Amino acid sequence: MEHQELRAGIVHTAQEMTRVGINQGTAGNISVRIEDGLLITPSSLPYDRMVPEDIVEMKFDGSWEGRRPSSEWRFHRDILAHRPDVDVVLHCHSIYAATLACKFLEIPAFHYMVGIAGGANIRCSDYATYGTQALSDTALVALEDRMACLLGQHGQIALGKTLEGALAMAVEVETTAQMYYQVLTLGEPNIIDDEEMARVIEQMRRMSYGQAPND
């Protein structure tokens, strides 16, 4: 079977999502770009039972081999097709990100770490039924020029060049969501202005701040 190292990496990362507390049960999914398509986690298989041979190979036309792919394969395919700058898509239902998403709250620049996703906010998409093309379409809008977004009444998507990088991004989004949730209990947050956030983002870019070693 081809891509054994990538398959093993996907399984490891899926299990790490549970270990670090950003996912539960069989929720969430991961994909990695390969030539002419992607590898993606299968549908409805607990991560603690998953092995590399369970990972599904898909083409960009939506065809696949082996197990049935994650129900969210459409946004994985479409993000990879539209974003040549990323090779990994990670989706999870982390608690604080999902909480904000249930109120359709974007995360503004209340803290400089919001810039790690590539802009002065982390957007929240509109709601659409899971597994549909409509969800993929609204996710693409929320991810424009960003490495992460919240999905309305759903969860979060984090992107990366590597599995390690996408997981690190998802953890940062969840941490930032938790901080924002807690700040909101104290009142209206102070927002860093766009000029300073532009400096922050450029500094992050130059220092590879918050990225995995090989990302």
Other CB atoms within 10 Å distance of the CB of residue 206: 8
HEC profile for 177-202?
A: HHHHHHHHCCCCCCCCCHHHHHHHHH
User: In angstroms, rounded to a whole number, what is the distance separating the alpha carbons of residues 113 and 21?
Assistant: 20
d(CA 137, CA 114): 23
CA pair distance 113, 199, nearest whole angstrom:
12
Residue identified by tokens 């503004």 is: 108
Annotated catalytic residue, options 2, 16, 72, 106: 72
148-151: strand order across its sheet: 64-65, 56-59, 37-40, 29-34, 88-92, 155-160, 148-151
- Say whether 72 is catalytic: yes
Using alpha carbons, select from 121, 175, 113 the residue that is nearest to residue 146.
121
The C-alpha atoms of residue 183 and residue 175 are separated, in whole angstroms, by 12
Q: Which residues pair with 47 in a beta bridge?
A: none
Active site residues: 72
